[in-house]
A and B are shown apart, each in its own frame.
Chain A
Amino acid sequence: MKTLDKINLEKLIGILKQENYTVIGPVIKDGAVVYDEIDSIKDLPEGWEDEQEAGYYRLKKRNDNALFSYVVGPQSWKKFLFPQKLKLWQAVREGRGFNIENSNSAEPKYAFLGIRSCELKAVFIQDKVFDNGMFADSYYNNIRKNIFIISVNCTRAAGTCFCVSMKTGPKAKNGFDLALTEVINNNEHYFVLEQGSEKGTEIASKLETNDADDKQIKAAEAAVKNAELNMKRTMNTAGIKELLYNNHDHPIWSQIASRCLSCANCTMVCPTCFCSNIEDTTDLTGNHTERWRRWDSCFSLDYSKVAGGNFRTSVKARYRQWMTHKLASWIDQFGISGCVGCGRCITWCPVGIDLTKEVENLRNSPKTINK
């Protein structure tokens, strides 16, 4: 393990840009941390942290110069791999037929700086969705294979985080090229650096680093431990698949539906949700048509409209679908939970519906069937 100072973190961004990476990192926009292109560490939310609770998000100033003391915000990295709106192809009328033109322009080469452990796990989960042997999404995979990943281990948790329960954080174990842990002690401010790939080692060799001593390694471990110890939310996942499958008709679903707005915010912010809708557009002459893919959600009514009717008209059925897919049927589908415990769906639900609480309520209800 090595250590790195701020000057060399800045240098790292420069090197990546020289290698033609578009560097993406956390920045502040409209009072929240979002992900966007950065040019320098000056773009990072230095000295800010977030307060998050169900249906509540605020940034507040810290009394230090920490670069990574907030956690995840309303956006996730999925927007770069699975864009909100994507033109799939276009066609032009030719005589009595038509010609299809592929319209995916040059795919960007990204470096993700500051991706958290839970978010990295979410990318692994989406890898299984967009490249699973049966189906491969070319746009996703072309970008995915070239990403340079610099993950940042969390040193504090927000009120809505529960990665410890989901075994997805707060420290990234693999899948990164480089990983950083920020340490601020007395007058010291440095990053403990781990190398996770050959490419990572190659890039790190261009930086001025020092070997991390025992004290520094311990300080980094203690910082990550701090995030674990501060994590207030938990979710008991024992037998969760059976819990949800056996309680399809439980009254809890109607209770949640009375509060749920079916606004779909929870699915939009979730880093693993992958649903989309396909729309065809034409120009007025009818000579030119385009096919677009756009994020959709099981909360939207049209989502479950099929020839002959709609199989999920009630909000009750829609909320149940969302939670059952995330926590149970995802396991059957992809061999892994669809939830990484990032807490976004809790923070950004306008009415603060909290899936960890609802799972607990279901477990503790006398009406629950435990087979």
Chain B
Amino acid sequence: MAIKKPKLAVFKMSSCDGCQLSLLDAEDELLDVLGGVELAYFPEASSKMMKGPYDIGLVEGSITTPRNVEEIRQIRKDCKILITIGACATAGGIQALRNWKDTREFTKIVYASPEYISTLDRSLPVSSFVHVDYELRGCPINKYQLIEVLNAFLNRRKPNIPSYSVCIDCKLKGNVCVMTSQNQMCLGPVTHTGCNALCPSYNRGCFGCYGPMDSPNTSALASQFKQMGYGKFDIMNIFRSYNGYAEAFRKESEANEK
């Protein structure tokens, strides 16, 4: 019985390409992935570009231009399942730092002819424009998690992607907590796991590249940072980075702005 392989498409909005590269970087598993799906559209990897509809669409990058808006609406129509990958696509990314500033000011400073630049005022996640079926976190994403999501889809089961804090994986690894033993700020307690506690494993605090966990108590963590001797400016900055525009982190950085 010849089963028709599901068609996979990979799209890019405003981003650095790091997340798409995770898929190409999954060398050992890539052949198995290709055994399970048909790579219908993936400009970064292949010049073969098939037309939609697609079964699974992976979207990297945030929505920052009017063209992005049109594209994402079309992509939604073309894809049965739409999965966003990475901090840009799920929370606006590092480029969302401009959301707190005047974008037109920037274009004037950076470009010789700013009138040619067509951009939105803010960098926003894909879910601000269309319905998203699954969000995969990280800056960049963890390639094993991406394989796991595709794998779960292919084998018709739930992906094993927990939404609890980095602390759980940090403790499973047997790390010594850098907050309690070294007085370092660590966003681990409010950050979604996925990196296998990478930073605390190398003796530094987590800076939140997987965005907020399922029930982030950012204000309690921020008051602990204050007790540890950190000022509002440090606290604002740690919350305002790769996932700074994710709601829980955004509110906490704004609460510490003045």
Contact = CB atoms under 8 A, between A and B. Distances in A.
B168 A74 contact: no
B154 A262 contact: no
Given A300-B164, A302-B163, A286 B172 contact: no
A164 interface: no
A32 B143 CA distance: 32
B215 interface: yes
By Cβ-Cβ distance, the 8 closest A-B pairs, closest first, are: A268-B171, A263-B189, A284-B32, A261-B189, A300-B164, A263-B167, A32-B176, A30-B176
Contacts of B163: 301-302
Nearest to A286: B155
A283 B32 contact: yes
Main secondary structure of the interface of B (DSSP, over half): helix
19 contacts: A29-B176, A30-B181, A31-B182, A32-B176, A34-B174, A260-B217, A261-B165, A261-B217, A261-B220, A261-B221, A263-B189, A264-B167, A268-B172, A282-B151, A283-B32, A297-B164, A300-B164, A302-B164, A350-B189
A351 B157 contact: no
B152 to A, nearest CB: 8
B128 interface: no
Interface string A15-32: 000000000000001111
Interface of B: 29, 32-33, 35-36, 147-148, 150-152, 154-155, 157, 160, 162-165, 167-168, 171-177, 179-182, 186, 188-190, 203, 214-215, 217, 220-221, 223-224
A347 B180 contact: yes
Nearest to B186: A350
A31 B154 CA distance: 45
Contacts of B174: 34, 75, 79, 84
Nearest to B228: A55
Given A284-B151, A285-B36, A302-B164, A261 B172 contact: no
B172 A85 contact: yes
A281 B152 CA distance: 9
Which one of A58, A265, A286, A352 has the highest number of Cβ atoms from chain B below 10 Å of its Cβ? A265
A213 interface: no
Interface residues of A, number: 47
B215 A294 contact: no
Interface of A: 29-32, 34, 55-58, 73-75, 79, 84-85, 258-265, 268-269, 279-286, 294-295, 297, 299-302, 315, 347-352
B164 A265 contact: no
B36 A57 contact: no
A92 B92 CA distance: 42
Contacts of B190: 261, 263
Contacts of A58: 181
Contact of B154 (A79, A286, A295): A286
Given A284-B36, A301-B164, A302-B163, A74 B177 contact: yes
Nearest to A30: B176
A321 to B, nearest CB: 14
A351 B162 contact: no
A350 B179 contact: yes
A263 B188 contact: yes
A264 B35 contact: no
A32 B157 CA distance: 41
A219 to B, nearest CB: 33
Contacts of B165: 261-264
